[in-house]
Amino acid sequence: MYGDGFHVYDTTLRDGAQQEGLNLSVADKLAVARHLDELGVGFIEGGWPGANPKDTEFFRRARTELNLKNAQLAAFGATRRPGLKAADDPLVAALRESEAPVVTLVAKSHDRHVELALRTTLEENLAMIRDTVSHLRAEGRRVFVDAEHFFDGFKANRAYAMEVVLTAAEAGADVVALCDTNGGMLPDELAEVVHEVVGAGARVGIHCHDDSGCAVANTLAAVKAGATHIQGCANGYGERSGNANLFTVIGNLQLKRGMRLVTDEQLAEMTRIAHAISEVTNVAPSPQQPYVGVSAFAHKAGLHASAVKVDPDLYQHIDPAQVGNDMRMLVSSMAGRASVELKGRELGYDLSGEKARKVVDKVKDLEAQGYTFEAADASFELLLREELNGERTRHFDVESWRVIVEQRPDGEVISEATVKLHAKGERIVCTGEGNGPVNALDRALRTALERLFPELARMELTDYKVRILELGGRGTGAVTRVLQETSDGEATWSTVGVDQNVIAASWQAMEDAVTYGLLRAGYEADTAGRTGE
Ligand SMILES: CC(=O)SCCNC(=O)CCNC(=O)[C@H](O)C(C)(C)COP(=O)(O)OP(=O)(O)OC[C@H]1O[C@@H](n2cnc3c(N)ncnc32)[C@H](O)[C@@H]1OP(=O)(O)O
Ligand SMILES: CC(=O)C(=O)O
């Protein structure tokens, strides 16, 4: 409805990279750019060439290594320095030399910033904008201007802020993006300002920071008020509290406002792309992130699940498949029969009626003892199988285990574990050494089983978390909960163990992890069996 000319402008590689703790190599930047291009954004701001060697290098390599199908690259920089000609400013030269087809210039639009931060006159700032924009236009570049601190500037000196916008537009800037640089605006007042600037005749863009928690709402309000160029960052990255989350903005504009920003197929890749970018940035993705977070369509409350069972729309604002996400059922002490039934269905088990009730009761009882199943999918599946089959799934039968921790004369502390078990009719006794008791037990258990179950060699412990729980009011004192994550290179599964002793809790989680891994490897039958000692 807003026409083909609507811009989706991503600034992850520039403003997103201004986020604390986010550091991208040139190779990372190229990888993120490819992901964003795949999503179908129109512009990718690659960084500030000339400001640091990495960003200069990015634009150099992009020429040969980035084969963008949808997006155009934009180089970011500032208007020329006061008192210089744009043609003579080395940072403006770096923008030209980047060979990016689009240049985005940050320009001061708040009179106080001109006088205090730029330390020049209001007239000279206008001359800097005019000169830099027209110079780059004459060099054949498309120019966008980011009017920094625009909304605060508009409140302080409306006439000057408007003069900045019109000067940029008259000099040839295609878009003037109004920036809520300090991120403190609220949607209603922001929309009024945008409306007024749009009325003055310039093509308006919007760039919002999230310091008031309103970056996405402000972006939507600006679009409603007439902005036709939206800036944002993947996963909401950015300086301080971040920028408008581009994925949330795209989801909202496309699915709620009926705009065609990307194709349906590209939208259906958004969750995968959001997570792929998190992998590159090494910033853990927020599970709660709208649309693309792993929890965005995860249902924990029993009442929700019972309604979702009838119709998923009853507790979901969209069909998760539209953005490539999935509905998930979480089973915990807040579950009811419907949660378990749907979770069972997800895992391929039929759990209607009484069976679901038995599982719910068991889950609630175990969670009261400190277990947690929403974060231990594999332990839950084993529990579910036990309720369905009437007995525990076993590929081996543990007789006993023991761990010794020893400080050696040279000061090194090592652990030695012994595991006695029965599998496939054999009694097996094995020891293992490790740098800690859990590591030693893990080695002993694997050594004991690997000959009979060679698939174990592919499984490795990928994460291990311990938490001390005070189960107040039950008189049971503190217990330890261990959550273990295991991978066979193709899938990852989580298991839980609870005990007053941390090693015993770890052993439970480990035993579940191996049992589940063997089930995945195709060992269905109970192959344990004591040798009859
Ligand atoms: C709102 C935003 O987020 S805009 C993006 C901000 N991003 C960054 O700052 C990251 C990249 N920045 C850098 O690498 C460096 O700051 C550089 C290379 C740009 C400049 O470094 P330096 O020359 O050492 O200057 P420094 O960072 O101390 O100060 C910035 C200078 O730019 C000037 N400046 C600030 N805004 C503008 C502008 N819109 N137009 C022209 N000059 C500007 C300041 O007045 C200051 O001038 P001064 O050197 O005469 O004091
Ligand atoms: C340009 C920019 O990043 C800002 O004003 O926030």
pLDDT along the chain (533 residues), means of 10: 72 98 96 98 98 97 96 98 97 98 98 97 98 98 98 98 98 98 98 97 96 98 98 98 98 97 97 96 96 96 91 96 95 90 91 88 93 94 91 93 94 95 95 94 95 94 90 66 95 96 96 96 66 37
Q: Which tokens is 249 given?
A: 């903005």
Q: Which ligand is nearest to the CA of 53?
A: 1
What pLDDT shows up at residue 3? 40
Burial of 131 from C-beta contacts in 10 A (0-12 / 13-18 / 19+)? buried
Single out the residue of 92, 16, 3, 529 nearest to residue 244, CA to CA.
Answer: 16
Query: Ligand 1, atom 31: nearest CA belongs to which residue?
Result: 118
CB 395 within 8 A of CB 380: no
Distance 118 CA to ligand 1 centre (A): 9
Beta-bridge mates of residue 143: 103
Protein residue with its CA nearest to atom 25 in ligand 1: 51
Q: What are phi and psi of 359, to 5 degrees?
A: -65, -40
Q: Which domains does the chain have, with CATH numbers?
A: 7-281 (3.20.20.70), 298-368 (no CATH), 397-520 (3.30.160.270)
Mutate to test the pocket of ligand 1, among 84, 88, 118, 208 (most ligand atoms within 8 A of CB): 118
Instruction: Tell me, in angstroms, the distance from the centre of ligand 1 to residue 156's CA.
Output: 23
Distance CA 314, CA 483 (A): 33
CA distance 427 to 396: 10
Which ligand lies nearest to the CA atom of residue 92 in the structure?
1
Question: What is the predicted pLDDT for the residue at 56?
Answer: 98
Identity at 157, one-letter amino acid code: N
- Residues in contact with ligand 1 by the CB-under-6-Å rule are 48, 51-52, 78-79, 81, 106-108, 117-118, 148, 181, 239
Sign of CA dihedral 185, 236, 295, 365: negative
Q: Which DSSP string corresponds to 205-273? A: EEEEB-TTS-HHHHHHHHHHTT--EEEEBGGG--STT-B-BHHHHHHHHHHTS---SS-HHHHTTHHHH
Query: Tokens 């915990």 identify what position?
Result: 332
Cβ(434)–Cβ(446) under 8 Å? no
Name the residue of 22, 58, 81 whose CB sits within 8 Å of the most ligand 1 atoms, as the mutation to test its pocket.
81
Dihedral through CA 496, CA 499, CA 503, CA 506, nearest 10?
0
> How far does residue 2's CA lie from ligand 2's centre (Å)?
25
| Sequence letter at residue 476 | T
> Given the CA of residue 150, which atom of ligand 2 is nearest to it?
5
**Nearest ligand to residue 145 Cα:** 2
CA-based radius of gyration for the chain: 30
Q: Which atom of ligand 1 is nearest to the CA of 48?
A: 11
**Strands of the sheet with 413-423, listed across from one edge:** 397-407, 413-423, 426-434
pLDDT of residue 429: 97
**Ligand 1: centre distance to CA 85 (Å):** 17
User: Which residues are bridge partners to 49 per DSSP?
Assistant: 52
Question: How large is the angle between the packed helices 246-255 and 215-224, nearest 10 degrees?
Answer: 40
Pocket test for ligand 1, best of 18, 45, 48, 231 (most atoms within 8 A of CB): 48
Atom of ligand 2 nearest to the CA of 146: 1
| Residue 52 CA, closest ligand 1 atom number | 14
CA 455 – CA 457 distance, rounded (Å): 5
Question: What pLDDT is attached to residue 478?
Answer: 84
**Is 61 in contact with 69 (CB distance < 8 Å)?**
no
The residue type at 274: A
Backbone angles phi, psi at 50, to 5 degrees: 95, -25
| 222 C-alpha to ligand 2 centroid (Å) | 16
pLDDT for the residue numbered 414: 92
- How far apart CA 421 and CA 400 sit, in angstroms, is 7
Give pLDDT tens digits for 197-224.
999 999 999 999 999 999 999 999 999 9
Position 449 scores a pLDDT of 96
Interstrand relation of 460-470 and 478-487 (parallel, antiparallel or unpaired)? antiparallel
Residues 251, 261 contacting (CB under 8 angstroms): no
Task: Write the burial class of residue 4 (CB in 10 Å: 0-12 exposed, 13-18 middle, 19+ buried).
Answer: exposed
Collect all residues with Cβ–Cβ distance below 8 Å to 279 and sequence separation of at least 6.
none
Give the length of the chain.
Answer: 533
Q: What is the pLDDT of residue 2?
A: 35
SS3 labels along 308-339:
HHHCHHHHCCCCHHHHCCCCEECCCCCCCHHH
- What interhelical angle do 377-389 and 502-520 show, nearest 10? 70
CA 210–ligand 2 middle distance (angstroms): 12
Beta strands 413-423; 397-407: pairing state: antiparallel
d(C-alpha 232, C-alpha 242), whole Å: 9
Q: What are phi and psi of 132, to 5 degrees?
A: -70, -40
Q: What gap in Å lies between CA 506 and CA 386, rounded to an integer?
A: 20
**DSSP tag of 12:** T
| Predicted-complex ipTM score | 0.96
Atom of ligand 2 at shortest distance to CA of 18? 3
Q: How far apart are CA 389 and CA 312, in angstroms?
A: 30
| Ligand 2 proximal residues by C-beta, below 6 Å | 15, 106, 146, 148, 179, 181, 207, 209
78 Cα–ligand 1 center, Å: 7
Both structure tokens of 35? 């992901």
Nearest CA to ligand 2 atom 3: 15
**Candidates 207, 208, 237: which one to mutate for ligand 2, based on the most atoms within 8 Å of Cβ?**
207
Helix (H) / strand (E) element for 499: namely strand 492-499
CA 473–ligand 1 middle distance (angstroms): 59
Q: Kindly report the protein residue whose alpha carbon is nearest to atom 6 of ligand 2.
A: 181
Q: What's the pLDDT at 275?
A: 96
